[in-house]
Chain A
């Protein structure tokens, strides 16, 4: 108990310090367009359900962003995990894909923005599914293919790399001992390689989601966007509502940390053997 209190106090030192500096500078500058006071931002959170600058409530914007990130991320995961597993499993597959992937890896997802827009235009999940015009269409129209693509791109690379690393680095002795116990190739794959690589795979999924989430603002700067935290930030900036900009930033940070902690809990619960082995 004593230890947890200490941990909490220690981890709060820097945030509190930041807030003190922030509040102090806000008083000094005395211009809300540059640095608003903490009070202004807290007010935004208290009135989170208000309609902000015509973009709706904060939970609604967070929800729209979350669905965008999760759909892009899901697309990234569905391609990256099987590909990473195959690349780790087969040297040939690795050789075929590795150079190709390495060329694309250094390109920041934001650099794909113009091309994504040129290729996918303003088509959205709504237009892709041929929804009839109506309330549903307006909602699903928020999820542009170009955004899904950008976020998927961001999450793809860390996942592929981490999954491949995990499969390749399974200790040879584990594979050998399964073989002498009579394992078939299928057994080796599903009962040795996959569970042994699982911690790396989860770690890749975690990094992928973090990067996908970080691509959000870039993705939501695409035209046709009318909601989302990233859009809220850019739009609030244009209206010199710095308090809203900061509110949006805090939302991104908090949701990102929350998503990350879900993965941390999963890793601690199911893969604690990994950190304790060796």
Chain B
């Protein structure tokens, strides 16, 4: 499969208030082929969110480059969508208008974008919630809408920054299943940041394990276990334990 995202020797330095250099990322190299479900796993503060934000074009790298489809890329673009951890829906817009937001920015007429948004509302199984406002929805529903909103723009790549991190355990498992279903149906490349080993093992084709201060890629693990992965499968448990041990060292 063709390479979709490439990250070359990326480095990110922040400056603290007292002008101390803080190296958030160093020597990050990454190649993501099309249609891959890549999980980026690491402890809090290892720079995995920063990496995702740089790939999205929301932050600039201190040095190194990001390529999308072979072209160098520094600014947000419609082909790369993103789902945030929480509270990213426009609270003054209805669910349907939120899903249609990217299409509005693209200049589509209202009837057109609403009809597309309705398709995606259907995809997330929330037909009866089109006219609801975000504050009327549960956290899981809000994240569903955020995913539908990103997909309605028909991006090639979907960046997900701990999208289920604020959900309760049960909702989280339901959402993981649903995300896999959507991914298989829509054939997107997904970069999924998480600090949950279980989530990474359940979802990923491949897991990039990161370690902190400065953030770097520690290990690149392909997961060949067929889907749907059963958590009671001994292989699943073995993988989880291995990763947990690695994470402890990280």
Measured CB to CB, the residues of A under 8 A from B are 171, 173-174, 176-184, 187, 191-192, 195-196, 198, 271, 273-274, 276-278
Smallest CB–CB gap between A179 and chain B, Å?
A: 5
Smallest CB–CB gap between A188 and chain B, Å?
A: 9
Q: How far is the CA of A251 from the CA of B28 in the complex (A)?
A: 70
Q: How far is the CA of A156 from the CA of B105 in the complex (A)?
A: 34
Interface of A is mostly: helix
Count, A-B residue pairs, CB within 8 A: 74
B81 near A277 with CB under 8 A, answer: no
List chain B residues, Cβ under 8 A from A176.
Answer: 58, 82, 84, 88
Measured CB to CB, the residues of B under 8 A from A are 56-58, 76-78, 80-82, 84, 86-92, 101-102, 104-106, 133-136, 146, 149-150, 153, 159
List chain B residues, Cβ under 8 A from A196.
Answer: 90-92
List chain A residues, Cβ under 8 A from B133.
Answer: 273, 276
B105 near A182 with CB under 8 A, answer: yes
List chain A residues, Cβ under 8 A from B77.
Answer: 182
Q: Which 8 A-B pairs rank lowest in CB-CB distance, beginning with the nearest?
A: A181-B102, A180-B82, A182-B78, A276-B135, A277-B91, A177-B88, A179-B76, A273-B91
In the complex, the chain B residue whose C-beta lies closest to that of A277 is B91
Candidates A171, A180, A182, A278; contact of B106 at CB < 8 Å: A182
A173 near B87 with CB under 8 A, answer: yes
Q: Which of A176, A192, A195, A276 has the most CB of B within 10 A?
A: A176
A273 near B153 with CB under 8 A, answer: no
List chain A residues, Cβ under 8 A from B153.
Answer: 181-182
Smallest CB–CB gap between B72 and chain A, Å?
A: 18
Q: How far is the CA of A81 from the CA of B87 in the complex (A)?
A: 27
Smallest CB–CB gap between B83 and chain A, Å?
A: 9
List chain A residues, Cβ under 8 A from B84.
Answer: 173, 176-177
List chain A residues, Cβ under 8 A from B134.
Answer: 273, 277
